[in-house]
């Protein structure tokens, strides 16, 4: 598209990992397996929480919300990424790229909020057990979840508008495997100071504020747990936080490295390293989260075993009935 004497970019080319051109097929199958495992893992968690009455608590309500978010978070990126790895179609329209970017930062923001709410929930459960049923009832849980989604969609509109105002007149090659803010800002025809500042402020505010809430919650939890006289009581209290703490550590360590710094710090030499870090929190971590929750959480493991055992028993009875009828 031409405006005046300047040609405006109508589509972008996503380069992916050009240095690994010979391994594109391997990357595709690896990414496909990871994506399928991610979807299956989170769908299992959502299903288990829904069907098992023992898991109808605030903690698992927020966990199922988190799993629902993770499904959309990865589905926004991975299908196009796999298409790029196959070399079938590396192009994406300007509108498609901006849409992918908006949903990426929105779902990422919502995840920060949900993880912070989960930490607050654990704080109330351990530090205020008598008031917990009142402070974290079904109505409060629903409102907190809705607020996390709504605020995430609204707060990311200003940086998106700032980025949309930038002129893109070539080159149109995104040196990444999806439409992220830093590689897009590099393609602007002008210095993107306003867009960079807007993105930095919002990203830093969301990540740091949610992380501080999590940090304060866990400091108060640790102080309370250390006051418990019995070692079994302390172990039981910590066990309810272990899975969440592991997820938070992995998620925030990579997220802070990528976004709590000015975009100008993304040097050419660190592009490949940044892509590896991005791959970790957009593709690998969402696959690991269901595994962490299933392996480290006794209630989820028990519910999963009960569901599988019930399914096996049902199949066994059905086979027995069929055999009796045949006989």
Note the pLDDT of residue 316.
Answer: 55
Domain assignment present for residue 60? The answer is yes
**What's the whole-number mean pLDDT along residues 188-199?**
89
Instruction: Evaluate whether 262 touches 196 at the Cβ level (below 8 Å).
Output: yes
Note the pLDDT of residue 4.
Answer: 44
More confident site: 308 or 280:
280
Domain assignment present for residue 315? The answer is no
More confident site: 186 or 264:
186
Q: What is the pTM of this model?
A: 0.86
| pLDDT one-digit tens code per residue, 246-266 | 888 888 888 877 776 655 555
Note the pLDDT of residue 324.
Answer: 53
DSSP assignments along 237-299, one per residue: HHHHHHHHHHHHHHHHHHHHHHHSS-GGG--GGGHHHHHHHHHIIIIIHHHHHHHHHHHH-HH
Domain assignment present for residue 1? The answer is no
Note the pLDDT of residue 252.
Answer: 87
- Provide the pLDDT confidence category of residue 290 given band limits of 50, 70 and 90: confident
Distance (Å, whole) CA 58 – CA 64: 10
The mean pLDDT value of the chain amounts to 84
Domain assignment present for residue 112? The answer is yes
Distance (Å, whole) CA 67 – CA 79: 18
Residue 237 has pLDDT above 80, yes or no: no
Instruction: Evaluate whether 14 touches 90 at the Cβ level (below 8 Å).
Output: yes
Distance (Å, whole) CA 110 – CA 68: 11
Note the pLDDT of residue 225.
Answer: 87
- Provide the pLDDT confidence category of residue 313 given band limits of 50, 70 and 90: low
Residue 3 has pLDDT above 70, yes or no: no
Distance (Å, whole) CA 220 – CA 121: 12
Note the pLDDT of residue 192.
Answer: 87
Domain assignment present for residue 12? The answer is yes
Distance (Å, whole) CA 325 – CA 327: 5
| pLDDT one-digit tens code per residue, 47-61 | 988 888 888 899 899
**What's the whole-number mean pLDDT along residues 199-213?**
92
Domain assignment present for residue 2? The answer is no
Please state, as a whole number, how many other Cβ atoms lie within 10 Å of the Cβ of residue 289.
Answer: 24
**What's the whole-number mean pLDDT along residues 158-165?**
93
Note the pLDDT of residue 123.
Answer: 93
Domain assignment present for residue 325? The answer is no
Note the pLDDT of residue 268.
Answer: 45
Q: Which domain holds residue 68?
A: 8-309
Residue 199 has pLDDT above 80, yes or no: yes
- The domain that holds 145 is classified in CATH as 1.20.1070.10
- Distance between terminal CA atoms of the chain? 75
| pLDDT one-digit tens code per residue, 315-325 | 555 555 455 55
- Provide the pLDDT confidence category of residue 310 given band limits of 50, 70 and 90: low
Burial 218-240 (b: 16+ CB within 10 A, else e): beebeebbeeeeeeeebeebeeb
Domain assignment present for residue 305? The answer is yes
| pLDDT one-digit tens code per residue, 97-152 | 999 999 999 999 999 999 999 999 999 998 998 999 999 999 999 999 999 999 99
- Give the total number of structural domains in the chain: 1
- Please count the helices (runs of H) and the strands (runs of E) in the chain: 13, 5
């Amino acid at each position: 598209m031409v405006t005046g004497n300047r040609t405006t970019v109508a589509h972008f080319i996503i380069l992916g990992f050009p240095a690994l051109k010979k391994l594109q097929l391997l990357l595709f199958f690896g990414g496909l397996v990871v994506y399928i495992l991610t979807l299956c893992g989170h769908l299992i968690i959502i299903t288990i929480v829904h069907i098992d009455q023992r898991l109808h608590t605030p903690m698992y309500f927020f966990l199922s919300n988190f799993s629902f978010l993770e499904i959309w978070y990865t589905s926004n990126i991975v299908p196009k990424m796999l298409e790029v790895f196959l070399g079938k179609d590396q192009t994406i329209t300007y509108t498609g790229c901006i849409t992918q970017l908006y949903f990426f930062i929105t779902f990422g923001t919502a995840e920060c909020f949900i993880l912070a709410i989960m930490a607050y929930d654990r704080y109330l459960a351990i530090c205020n057990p008598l008031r917990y049923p009142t402070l974290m009832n079904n109505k409060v849980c629903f409102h907190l979840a809705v607020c996390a989604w709504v605020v995430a969609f609204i707060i990311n509109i200003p940086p998106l508008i700032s980025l949309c105002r930038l002129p893109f007149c070539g080159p149109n090659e995104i040196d990444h495997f999806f439409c992220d803010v830093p590689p897009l800002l590099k393609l602007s025809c002008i210095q993107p100071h306003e867009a960079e500042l807007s993105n930095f402020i919002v990203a830093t505010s969301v990540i740091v504020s949610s992380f501080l809430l999590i940090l304060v919650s866990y400091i108060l939890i640790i102080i309370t747990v250390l006051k418990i006289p019995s070692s079994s009581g302390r172990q039981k209290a910590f066990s309810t936080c272990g899975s969440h703490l592991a997820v938070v550590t992995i998620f925030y360590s990579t997220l802070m490295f990528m976004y709590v710094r000015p975009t100008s710090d993304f040097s050419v030499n660190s592009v490949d390293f940044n892509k590896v870090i991005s791959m970790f929190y957009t593709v690998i971590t969402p696959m690991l989260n269901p595994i962490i929750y299933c392996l480290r959480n006794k209630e989820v493991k028990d519910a999963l075993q009960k569901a599988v055992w019930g399914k096996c028993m049902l199949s066994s009875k059905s086979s027995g009935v069929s055999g009796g009828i045949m006989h």
